[in-house]
Chain A
């Protein structure tokens, strides 16, 4: 015990002196929160739109008003022909183009179907998805109105009432902030821990430690505890900023949040320690951490919805602890659910931790032999 304390004391001393790393530890959650919370919006509005109106009628202007008042399309210019529209979309000056044929108003007045062409730059799928969906629904709404006027029907046969639970206003920060906790913990536990341990090997201090009576488990515990403390500190900072700046509510129990996070920390530490056993220097540890980090972000559901992935990729995503932790943390923070609902995730993290630790011990024993 006294040896673990000595290692702890030494680690904290070194941490305190490494001002740059310490600064990063606190800046990282702040910058990530502000970036993901403010800058990143998955819903695209204000798409710059150019119009080629050959009809120049009340009807065409009326439809255009519907487009611009939706908030999704900003009419930024008019074109005098197809070639000009193509040029503007090609050059990126406009992301969408609306083209009215010359007989647009005439057909409407006659009660015929009046086609309108909406061109969308789908090279950015986020933009095109919004544009396509909104353009379609504007068309439907306008048609509905005309049909209701013609037939005299007062109410629609179907009435689908959608209630978006947990995040009714669709605020991105609500969804992002809890997930960022997962990202930060992954970085600290995998990257910083593995690099911290490998540094001892690289500098030769591990060799010096091995001739002292210190046991390897004492060394591991002493090295790992400061990073766990750091991880919890980062989570606290992130939750505070999330609450104060973005007003993210924590609907579940904070105690459960902190307790269940420990399972994720253990699993991530497992990866970190495993990496430190294979990596020969800090650069390798850094690269290997990224090898884990990137797919974690891509496949866990942090960036892209897992429901949209092919099932084989979903299975691969299940390798990464972050996948389970996102369910846990979003569950507790946004849904206000607790442990009874999250047992499968917690068990998965537990199994993962045991596997990682066993692998590390086997690998470590081989190295000594």
Chain B
């Protein structure tokens, strides 16, 4: 605690949580800057929720240390956890009162946030009757009532339609601009690209940390995007020039050691197999490519 950098809002050291002999979170050492949008990115079961819960003090770590340099913080769990049988206004008033905010201030702040989130017209609606996106916005409103310097969100856009997801991120950006540090977990790679800092987590271990740009820059392989008339292209992965390959929609992404050599090898192979090529081009790696490569390395 004494050595904590004032610019960091959260620091952890060798943070570990063991459930029934299995480490859900394993030796995580993190520093989160004040003013960051910190994305914890990984698939289901990677340990994101457990890590966030420890950061919020909801569960105590089995080992390791956390320092949080912020008195107030808002937390939005993955599952909607406000009262469904209370209206939007009642939920807000209740949580405001728990923070001992006087009712006038609650109303003013709630109006502010509801205006941003577009919920202002639905104040007397029961929370149970809201759509997934609206529920998330209400949860966000309640988490923001105490004007926290730190906002922790666990998969806030899980199960929310793409339009609402976009809107939700817009709100996060606006809050961040106002000085709120945001820690968010997500399984979506496109959301990872929206974060200022990304930590890739898999099986409880932080595999890699950095801003999306430099993570992609440090990607050691080239990526070829291939579109061809074949349902199965996995045989390409057997080429010695190829590291790995997988379908992304109707396109096949191939990670290769050396772009030009691999290109020639693939064209040869497909000609041999009489598969028509629509296009084959060198593209910059996406977050998903980075993630797949990083987690595969761990397996090997």
On A, residues with C-beta under 8 Å from B are 2-3, 5-7, 9-10, 13-14, 17-18, 203-205, 207-214, 368-369
Contact = CB atoms under 8 A, between A and B. Distances in A.
B80 to A, nearest CB: 8
B83 to A, nearest CB: 6
B127 to A, nearest CB: 11
A213 B56 CA distance: 12
B83 A211 contact: no
Contacts of B60: 368-369
B75 A17 contact: no
A208 B138 CA distance: 13
25 contacts: A3-B98, A5-B97, A6-B93, A6-B94, A9-B94, A9-B97, A10-B83, A10-B90, A10-B94, A13-B85, A13-B86, A17-B85, A18-B85, A204-B80, A205-B81, A207-B81, A208-B75, A208-B82, A210-B58, A211-B56, A211-B57, A211-B75, A212-B98, A212-B99, A214-B98
A205 B83 contact: yes
B60 to A, nearest CB: 6
Nearest to A219: B98
A13 B100 CA distance: 19
Contacts of A14: 83, 85-86
Nearest to A210: B58
B168 to A, nearest CB: 18
Given A6-B97, A13-B86, 6 more contacts: A2-B97, A9-B97, A13-B90, A14-B85, A14-B86, A208-B77
Nearest to B139: A208
Contact of A204 (B57, B77, B98, B100): B77
A205 B98 contact: no
Given A6-B97, A10-B94, A205 B58 contact: no
A213 B81 contact: no
Contacts of A10: 83, 86, 90, 94
B73 A211 contact: yes
- Chain B interface size band reads 20 to 34
B144 to A, nearest CB: 13
Nearest to A369: B60
B177 interface: no
A213 to B, nearest CB: 6
A214 B101 CA distance: 13
Contacts of B75: 208, 211
Interface in B59-93: 60, 73-75, 77, 79-86, 90, 93
Given A10-B90, A204-B77, A213 B83 contact: no
B247 interface: no
Q: Is chain A's interface secondary structure helix, strand, loop, or mixed overall? A: helix
A205 B93 CA distance: 15
B95 interface: yes
A367 to B, nearest CB: 10
B93 to A, nearest CB: 8
B170 to A, nearest CB: 24
B222 to A, nearest CB: 45
Contacts of A207: 58, 77, 81
Given A14-B85, A212-B98, A213-B100, A204 B90 contact: no
A369 B62 CA distance: 9
Contacts of A18: 85
Contacts of A6: 93-94, 97-98
B77 A213 contact: no
A207 B52 CA distance: 12
Given A10-B83, A203-B81, A213 B90 contact: no
B94 A205 contact: no
Contacts of A368: 60
A60 B27 CA distance: 96
A212 B148 CA distance: 11
A204 B86 contact: no
B98 A213 contact: yes
B154 to A, nearest CB: 10
Nearest to B90: A13
Contacts of A205: 81-83
A207 to B, nearest CB: 5
Contacts of B80: 204
A22 to B, nearest CB: 13
A212 B146 CA distance: 9
B82 A213 contact: no
A206 to B, nearest CB: 8
Interface in B157-203: none
Contacts of A5: 97
Nearest to B71: A213
A209 B77 CA distance: 11
Contacts of A2: 97, 100
A70 to B, nearest CB: 59
A348 B35 CA distance: 58
Contact of B100 (A3, A203, A209): A3
A2 B94 CA distance: 11
Contact of B98 (A13, A17, A209): A209
User: Of A212, A368, A369, which is in contact with the most chain B CB atoms at under 10 Å from its CB?
Assistant: A212
A211 B58 contact: yes
Given A13-B90, A207-B77, A369-B60, A212 B83 contact: no
A209 B97 CA distance: 12
Contacts of B94: 6, 9-10
A212 B95 CA distance: 8
Contacts of A204: 77, 79-81
Contacts of B83: 10, 14, 205
Contacts of A369: 60
Contacts of B74: 211
B118 to A, nearest CB: 22
Contacts of B142: 208
A369 B60 CA distance: 6
